[in-house]
Copies of this chain bind each other. A is one copy, B any other.
Amino acid sequence: MIEHTVQVRVRYAETDQMGYVYYGNYATYFEVARVETFRHLGCSYKSMEAQGILMPVLDFKTKFIKPARYDDVLSIKVIIKEKPGVRITFNYEVYNEHNVLLNLAETTLVFINDQFKPTLPPDSVLTIFTPYFQS
């Protein structure tokens, strides 16, 4: 299992007139959280994309529990429970500075090659991930 926490501060642009973070903006926070988790593990999503591997999102679920507000520093715990194959699933828990759980989410992404065909992650990525999923 992999767990890593990433912090994101809420921008004014991301609020709406309800005074909350607009529900659609969490998708961007989750993107930042998974890219920074990759970087922390030693993978650069940018380099992977430059090598012709893209990772579109297949599936996205969020359960909103409490609102996030302007200027909050959100802690996004990213959890990868299973060793990535052609697909990789990320779970997210979002907390505010008072350690209150704001929402829960899950995204599944697929690795695709430059022919837009599903593919296994590059060896450089598999090498990094494998040790975390030894039984």
Interface residues of A (CB under 8 A from B): 11-13, 15-20, 22-28, 31-32, 35, 44-46, 49, 54, 56-64, 67, 70-71
Which single member of B18, B20, B57, B67 contacts A64 (CB below 8 Å)? B57
Which residues from B are CB-within-8-Å of A46?
A: 70-71
The answer to whether A70 touches B17, judged by C-beta atoms less than 8 angstroms apart, is: yes
A59→B25 CA distance, assembly (Å) = 14
Which single member of B11, B60, B63, B71 contacts A23 (CB below 8 Å)? B60
- Of chain B, the residue at the smallest CB distance from A32 is B11
A64→B108 CA distance, assembly (Å) = 10
Which residues from B are CB-within-8-Å of A31?
A: 11-13, 24
- Of chain B, the residue at the smallest CB distance from A71 is B46
